[in-house]
Amino acid sequence: MDERQLGALTVSALGLGCMGFSQGYGPADDERSITAIRRAVDLGVTLLDTAMSYGQGHNETLVGRAVQGRRDRVVLATKFGIVRGPDGVRVDGRPERVRGYCEASLRRLGVDTIDLYYLHRVDPEVPVADTVGAMGELVTEGKVRHLGLSEARPGQIASAAAVHPIAAVQFEWSLAWREPEDDVVPAARRAGAGLVPYSPLGRGLLTGTRPAPTEGDFRSGDGRFHADNLTGNLALVDAVAKIAARRELTAGQLALAWLLAQGPDVVPIPGTRDPARIDQNAAAAGVRLTPEDLAALAEAAPREAWRGDRRSFAAHGVTRTR
């Protein structure tokens, strides 16, 4: 698989989002999940994305098991800052807690160094520069190689980059969620950071498979999957599927190829539990879209729809917690 740069960090053009192996999409089977992760690595996917909050540590432990004997073939990215516990979910970016969170992640992953360490959410009670300053100490100590931010605003990205180089900024971005193009994308690029889109397949919608959220699936509470909202959103899905069929691609492959075409600094991290879908997604890294393809997709999912009243995919009660 082709490689790309996230700041000074070299990774595969596509990564693997691992959250769904532990939470968000209903019950999962650990052995099948490990098979999927290892299949991705065998296909050349090097960037594996997890977080301490996913399954309250379960996900990091799972990823650690999957990469045993393969550590030199992967780039491990994890996050801190979202804390899940008996009392619910909170954000914690206090500098004095950063080292403890990192060391706990290292233990769960079973490694000595985290390649890319993200602040999962900026703590509204703590200046982002203070949190990133503490993260930078981990780089000096060799516990972490590179730093990232997840779901940060443009001003926060600039403040963080003034303290320490930021290799990557992670945020939701897809043909069905183009809002970041107006502010987050240019801010990340000004800071010299690579772009890591999560939910690049619209949380399953853009695959064209008509996902039906079940119990334990966080999409059950996501307005974009219900009633009239879903009907309207599926018009976009149908348009993407028709364009994909002309190229003999799946809708998901086309959606990933579109993101990859947005710049050499874009590294989407699709997630799936299905080893067969792992193969499909990996193949998208080799797709080159023509100007005609891009024009057709621009008509199907115009950027202008994300301005004004935004009567499109994102306007329908979307749940952003991740």
On whether residue 51 sits in a domain, the answer given is yes
- Phi and psi at 296, nearest 5°, equal -65, -40
- What pLDDT score was predicted for residue 312? 39
- What pLDDT score was predicted for residue 210? 58
Tokens 């699709």 belong to residue? 270
Cβ neighbours for 82, distance < 8 A, ≥ 6 positions apart: 51, 52, 53, 89, 90, 91, 120, 121
* pLDDT, tens digit only, all 322 positions of the chain: 999 999 999 999 999 999 999 986 767 789 999 999 999 999 999 999 999 999 999 999 999 999 999 999 999 999 999 998 888 899 999 999 999 999 999 999 999 999 999 999 999 999 999 999 999 999 999 999 999 999 999 999 999 999 999 999 999 999 989 999 999 999 999 999 999 999 999 887 888 665 555 655 555 555 566 566 666 677 888 899 999 999 999 999 999 999 999 999 999 999 998 888 999 999 999 999 999 999 999 998 887 654 433 333 333 333 344 4
- What pLDDT score was predicted for residue 224? 62
Q: Which two tokens stand for residue 87?
A: 């009392």
Q: Which two tokens stand for residue 250?
A: 């799946």
- What pLDDT score was predicted for residue 25? 72
- What pLDDT score was predicted for residue 183? 96
| Tally of domains in the chain | 1
- What pLDDT score was predicted for residue 133? 98
On whether residue 263 sits in a domain, the answer given is yes
On whether residue 321 sits in a domain, the answer given is no
Tally Cβ neighbours within 10 Å of residue 298.
13
Q: Which two tokens stand for residue 293?
A: 């393809």
Tokens 């509470």 belong to residue? 221
- What pLDDT score was predicted for residue 82? 96
On whether residue 33 sits in a domain, the answer given is yes
On whether residue 124 sits in a domain, the answer given is yes
For residue 71, what are the domain limits?
Answer: 3-315
Exactly one of 54, 117, 118, 198 is catalytic; which is it? Answer: 54
On whether residue 132 sits in a domain, the answer given is yes
Q: What is the CATH number of the domain that holds 18?
A: 3.20.20.100
Strand partners, 57: none
Label the pairing between strands 88-91 and 82-85. Answer: antiparallel
On whether residue 320 sits in a domain, the answer given is no
Amino acid at 91: V
The answer to whether residue 54 is catalytic is: yes
